[in-house]
């Protein structure tokens, strides 16, 4: 679904510094994972409004609540994201664009329907909170789930400016409303209301864009539930991939030695959470770089190779395109590997200044140094995983996603038992293991690509 790649290529061809910065900026918004940008925006908002709050504990409760909302909605929609992404990309390949909008609406309805029953028990679990808080929690979960479904198709859209400004306007609205509601002493519910309203606006802005880009004479369709369109391996992979990204956090939150109660049954582990989320923010440059290379370089070589395969190109030509595609893939991955390493080292070198600027205790710096190396390896792993999805290697993607989730869970639990000084090492070793295994698998696939491509067709 490399629609946005064509627009990014035009920006890069202008060869001006401003155009390059724009290309990387738009890539950062689309490629960084919306939730990373969202968490960064919320932390910034919380740091501003805390000076206006009578009860400073509201900030911790707000950040903890929104973190759970992000985690739970991402893990839940993980069942649908990859599978639905495949459905959309297949319809684009078949040029059946009129099926996209009604099925997106169908998937949103499907997701929100089951999501409502999934999140409804929170109304009874979140004891010692107001009715308004519980309602805001439920509706925020549903809105975020809808956004993650819409996020599936963003890279297929060419209107990158609209996407960028949609995020910018929505988070600016959250910021403004948070200040206003705080000024009028609406407390925690006011902060959550600003969160819900801002993300509600983002949801409708993205939905409007999809409706504009993919018009259809049908309003809703559930063709994605047709048996021939369902890929069980992608459903399981999406779940384990998102679970793997969050399982270490849940373990630190829930363990009595590392987590604290913040509001009702919701717990947090700030000595782990703050360094970890800052480390995720450090991934943004590398993720922007990878999306840019993937959408502008690799997608073109990939298309050349498989077009030659489908249209009966000569073996010599097919092998030539295969070598070009492999070279582009390896170059893109290594550029990300080296580029993100530079940013990682910069963050480590200037960690004390960054922590003091953000008001984070410098005692957390050793943990940050460990987990930021982990996110560097995580980006390397996710880059290879994306290439595997391009090559339709669903079995291999499933295996390494399960290994990532299980290893992160086991290693993180072991490091919790070992003590504070080992914090973050479980995540680091899990990312290292996953990166090495995925690299071995990708290299093996590349060596047998043409043979297996034709054999699978048979």
| Residues 172-188 pLDDT 10s | 898 899 889 888 888 88
Same domain membership, residue 59 and residue 154: yes
Q: Is residue 251 part of a domain?
A: no
| Residues 25-79 pLDDT 10s | 666 666 665 566 666 666 766 666 666 665 668 888 988 999 899 999 999 999 9
How many helices (H) and strands (E) would you count in the chain?
19, 2
What is the reported pTM? 0.88
- How far is 384 from 382, CA to CA, in rounded Å? 5
Q: Is residue 47 part of a domain?
A: yes
Q: Is residue 270 part of a domain?
A: no
| Residues 244-267 pLDDT 10s | 999 999 999 999 999 999 998 999
290 pLDDT band, cuts 50/70/90, is confident
Same domain membership, residue 335 and residue 203: no
Same domain membership, residue 289 and residue 158: no
Domain boundary among 230, 259, 289: 230
Same domain membership, residue 80 and residue 180: yes
Same domain membership, residue 30 and residue 93: yes
- How far is 305 from 309, CA to CA, in rounded Å? 6
N residues, the chain: 458
End-to-end CA distance of the chain: 26
Same domain membership, residue 297 and residue 182: no
Same domain membership, residue 82 and residue 190: yes
- How far is 337 from 24, CA to CA, in rounded Å? 17
Q: Is residue 355 part of a domain?
A: yes
pLDDT of residue 151: 85
| Residues 368-381 pLDDT 10s | 999 999 999 999 99
Same domain membership, residue 281 and residue 145: no
139 pLDDT band, cuts 50/70/90, is very high
In the chain, % of residues over pLDDT 90: 45
For the chain, the average pLDDT equals: 85
pLDDT of residue 458: 45
Q: Which domain covers residue 413, as residue numbers?
A: 276-457
Same domain membership, residue 347 and residue 442: yes
Same domain membership, residue 33 and residue 123: yes
309 pLDDT band, cuts 50/70/90, is confident
Q: Kindly report which listed range (1-15, 30-44, 320-334, 354-368) carries the lowest average pLDDT score.
A: 1-15
Query: How do 260-263 and 266-268 pair as beta strands?
Result: antiparallel
Same domain membership, residue 64 and residue 149: yes
Token pair recorded at residue 164: 């960028």
> How many domains, the chain?
2
Same domain membership, residue 291 and residue 225: no
């Amino acid at each position: 679904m490399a629609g946005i790649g064509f627009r990014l290529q035009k920006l890069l061809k202008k060869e001006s510094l401003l155009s390059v910065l724009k290309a990387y900026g738009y890539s950062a918004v689309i490629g960084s994972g919306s939730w990373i940008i969202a968490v960064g925006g919320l932390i910034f908002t919380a740091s501003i409004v805390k000076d206006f709050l009578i009860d400073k504990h509201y900030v911790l409760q707000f950040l903890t609540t929104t973190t759970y909302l992000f985690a739970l909605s991402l893990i839940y929609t993980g069942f649908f994201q990859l599978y639905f992404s495949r459905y959309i990309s297949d319809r684009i390949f078949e040029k059946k664009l009129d099926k996209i909008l009604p099925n997106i609406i169908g998937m949103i309805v499907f997701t929100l329907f089951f999501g409502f029953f999934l999140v409804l028990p929170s109304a009874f679990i979140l004891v010692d909170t107001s009715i308004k808080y519980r309602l805001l929690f439920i509706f925020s979960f549903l809105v975020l789930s809808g956004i993650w479904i819409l996020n599936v198709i963003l890279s297929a859209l060419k209107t990158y400016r609209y996407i960028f400004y949609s995020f910018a306007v929505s988070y600016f609205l959250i910021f403004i409303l948070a200040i206003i509601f705080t000024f009028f002493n609406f407390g925690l519910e006011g902060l959550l209301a600003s969160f819900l309203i801002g993300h509600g606006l983002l949801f409708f802005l993205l939905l409007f864009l999809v409706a504009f880009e993919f018009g259809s004479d049908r309003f809703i369709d559930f063709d994605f539930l047709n048996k021939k369109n369902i890929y069980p391996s992608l459903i399981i992979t999406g779940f384990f991939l998102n679970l793997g990204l969050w399982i270490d956090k849940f373990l630190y939150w829930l363990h009595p030695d590392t987590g604290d109660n913040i509001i009702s049954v919701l717990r947090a582990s700030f000595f782990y959470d703050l360094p970890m989320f800052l480390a995720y923010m450090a991934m943004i440059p590398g993720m922007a770089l990878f999306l840019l290379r993937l959408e502008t370089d690799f997608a073109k070589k990939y298309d050349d190779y498989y077009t030659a395969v489908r249209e009966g190109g000569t073996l010599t030509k097919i092998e030539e395109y295969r070598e070009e595609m492999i070279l582009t893939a390896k170059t893109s991955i290594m550029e990300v590997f080296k580029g993100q390493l530079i940013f990682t080292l910069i963050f480590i070198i200037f960690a004390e200044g960054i922590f003091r600027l953000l008001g984070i205790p410098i005692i957390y710096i050793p943990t940050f140094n460990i987990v930021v190396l982990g996110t560097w390896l995580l980006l390397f792993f996710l880059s290879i995983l994306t290439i595997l999805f391009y090559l339709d290697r669903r079995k291999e993607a499933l295996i390494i996603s399960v290994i990532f989730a299980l290893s992160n869970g086991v290693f993180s639990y072991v490091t919790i038992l070992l003590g504070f000084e080992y914090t973050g090492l479980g995540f680091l070793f899990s990312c290292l293991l996953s990166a090495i295994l995925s690299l071995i698998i990708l290299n093996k696939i590349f060596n047998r690509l043409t043979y297996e491509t034709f054999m699978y067709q048979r």
